[in-house]
Amino acid sequence: MDLNEANAALADKVVPINPHQLDWYMAELTLRNMHAGDLRRGAVMTPEDAVEYQRTVRDAWSESLGPIPADSFLSAQTSHAFERDGLYIESIILETRPGFFATAVLAKPTGTSGKLPAVLQVCGHSELGRTYPPYQNVMMTIAKAGFAVMTLDSIGQGERITYMEDGISQAVKATCPEHDYAGIQCLITGMNISEFFVHDALCALDYLESRDDIDPQRIGVTGCSGGGTLTAMLMMQAPERIAAAAPCCFITTREDILRTHRRQDLEQIWPGMAAAGLDHADAVLCMAPKPVMLLTADSDFFPIEGSCKTLEKARPFWRILGNPDGLEMKTDRCRHGYSHGLANAAADFFSRALRGEPAAPVRPSEPVHEGRLNATPSGSVVQSLGSRIPHDYVVDKLAGYDREAAVKTFDTRRREAVGFIRAQIDAFPAYPLYLKRADDAFYHAYDLRCELFLWYQQENLSNFGIFFHSPGEIPLHNVLALWDGGTLVRHRHMDEVLALCHEGKGVFIVDLAGTGCIGDDLYHGGEPDYFWSRLGNYANNLLVNGDNLPAMRVRGILRAIDAVQEICGTETRVDILTRGGFNLYALMAKLVDERIYSVIEHDPVESFRRIASEKYYNDNNIKAYVMPSMLRYFDILQLREFVKGDRSDENR
């Protein structure tokens, strides 16, 4: 076989494999978890069962979200106010944490007295945030039904766009990309970007409750798209504080999201929730028996089919808890978004739920120019107020970890790192090793023999490897070669393969999950891969199911060592050779597996901490390297010290 033929030697030369195995694996894992959740939810029969089930959902959500500040907002000020079209409109600045500012606008009918019911509208993904005309229309439509309606900018939107160094151009694109960019910094540090969304919204509820013109017992919540996500999070976080809720264009099912391959940014990714068997229905049912309306669009990319399934899965909780008509759904003939039809439906729903009477439909409202609604002179809390941003809290968290490490011994820190990695690996059991070889037995490349092998590291998740060695006896010193692109780019590394084999070693190039010829076309080694990538989406789905891509690849390394020992014997020496960021996987593997003799790092990534410590970082293919909370236990430097047993930083 010549080299062109050798370079065409792929996994299906061994046995036929599913070219979409990663999608297949993810679907099977998700559906298995969702089925288990359906069974548990369906077993709820009594009010006591229902209340206990709600508690378990909220506990799981709290674990997924992580801790949030217990403090309320620190200050609030109305920057200006005006009257328009029968409404009194205020632009508001909230300080939700020291030096951390949120902007909002509140509208209420003019000429009212006493305490009004209120609705908090949390924004979906629009750069304009609360000034986005459809969100203005929702606010005004509900306000005209007799409500005080406050619309809150989330981070990365409206006056809270973070990455604008000159106050004009965006260094990181706003909304979804910004949420993901900051979310990665949070995730690798052990935080959750959603904590900022949730805490800001809770502070907004606190503010509404503190106003003399609002009835604190009659406050509802609504929001569309990302605002629907935040509404769902609030339904789990604080249902006791919400009198009625209307999530719009978000509620569906994990199964239906999976079918669409729809990408989501990290505040919509709830780590471990699917692993716990929890779906959108569980967020909804936390509100039972209080009134809830699902606002849906028939042509949404959050599939209406899933919304209907969720309605049926959650509805029994309202029946069991004594309010069988408390869960409703309204569908408009439209695409994704808070249409005027849905705005009128929301006004009517909240009026029936909180005022005891229906609301008549109104015509769409003319939007106010965004500049008139701005609460800051520049239209930016960062530029005008010097507001802190999520990255500042990430840096604070890292400093806290440094203080913790300074009082721990080397052995304690090493033991904690081993335990952390081992917990990630052991979360998913290895599949029995059935080593499959190509029918042709041996190929040749130059003067080397090469053999093709395939095996499964986990059920439905295969690895592929090409074993190069000189003719003759099987070598007892072997090198596991790991790099971006795997076997598909082996031609770039043949000089090194030849040199190692001529030294009497064997070289086993291995495709880990999502790489090489088992990459499912999710990502091609060396190509640009930024926000909205298929590999990033796969990594997100792993997070929801209680896993992550680095952990999956470390499991793959350990199973590859099993394969090497099956081929060459248990006495073989195994080194690992890496290029680029694959040194992270190899060093983690060596720390937990003494069979690995050494790790040879070529062009290594020297630090992943800088992803979190620096405001700006290169996010190309970044989710391949993000293990939640990793920086609490180690960076590359610490991994190297741990695998060597070096105590040089004992008192660092």
- Using DSSP, state whether 534 is helix, strand or coil: helix
**CATH superfamily ID and name for 47-385:** Alpha/Beta hydrolase fold, catalytic domain (3.40.50.1820)
Can you give the pTM of this predicted structure? 0.94
Tell me the pLDDT tens digit for each residue of 534-580. 889 999 999 999 999 999 999 999 999 999 999 999 999 999 999 99
For residue 652, what pLDDT is reported? 32
How high is the pLDDT of residue 647?
45
Query: What's the CA angle centered on 335, arms 334 and 337, to 5 degrees?
Result: 100
Q: Is the pLDDT of residue 525 over 90?
A: no
- The CATH number for 3-29+427-644, chosen from 1.20.1250.20, 3.40.50.1820, 1.10.760.10, 3.40.50.300, is 3.40.50.1820
The answer to whether residues 176 and 74 touch, using CB atoms and an 8 Å cutoff, is: no
Residue of 593, 160, 196, 552 lying closest to 381 (CA atoms): 160
Residue 344: phi and psi, rounded to 5, are -65, -40
Asked if pLDDT for residue 7 goes beyond 60, the answer is no
pLDDT, position 442: 66
pLDDT at 12 exceeding the cut of 70: no
Please say if the pLDDT value at position 255 is more than 70.
Answer: yes
**Which residues, 6+ apart, have CB-to-CB distance to 32 below 8 Å?**
none
**Token pair of 214 as six digits:** 């609002």
Contact 594, 615 (CB under 8 A): no
Average pLDDT over residues 210-232: 98
Amino acid identity for residue 551 in this structure: A
In this prediction, residue 139 has a pLDDT band, given cuts at 50, 70 and 90, of very high
For 618, phi and psi rounded to 5 degrees? -85, 115
pLDDT at 8: 55
Across all residues in the chain, what is the average pLDDT? 94
Q: Give the count of beta carbons closer than 10 Å to the beta carbon of residue 477.
A: 15
Overall average pLDDT of the 174-186 stretch: 96
The domain spans of the chain are: 3-29+427-644, 47-385
Name which of 186, 150, 312, 292 is nearest 232 in CA terms: 292
- Mind listing the pLDDT tens digit for each residue in 581-601? 999 999 999 999 999 999 999
CA dihedral 560, 561, 563, 566 (to 10 degrees): 180
Q: Is the pLDDT of residue 518 over 90?
A: no
Q: Residue 649 — pLDDT band, cuts 50, 70, 90?
A: very low
Domains 3-29+427-644 and 47-385 share a fold: yes
List the beta bridge partners of residue 295: 248, 330
CA dist., res. 283 & res. 215, Å (int): 25
Q: Report d(CA 288, CA 318) in Å as an integer.
A: 5
Residue bearing tokens 């010829």: 517
pLDDT in tens, 115-130: 999 999 999 999 999 9
Q: Does residue 646 carry a pLDDT above 70?
A: no
Question: Which among 267, 554, 276, 599 is positioned nearest to 430, based on CA atoms?
Answer: 554
Reply yes or no on whether the pLDDT at 519 is more than 90: no
What is the distance of C-alpha 313 from the center of its chain? 24
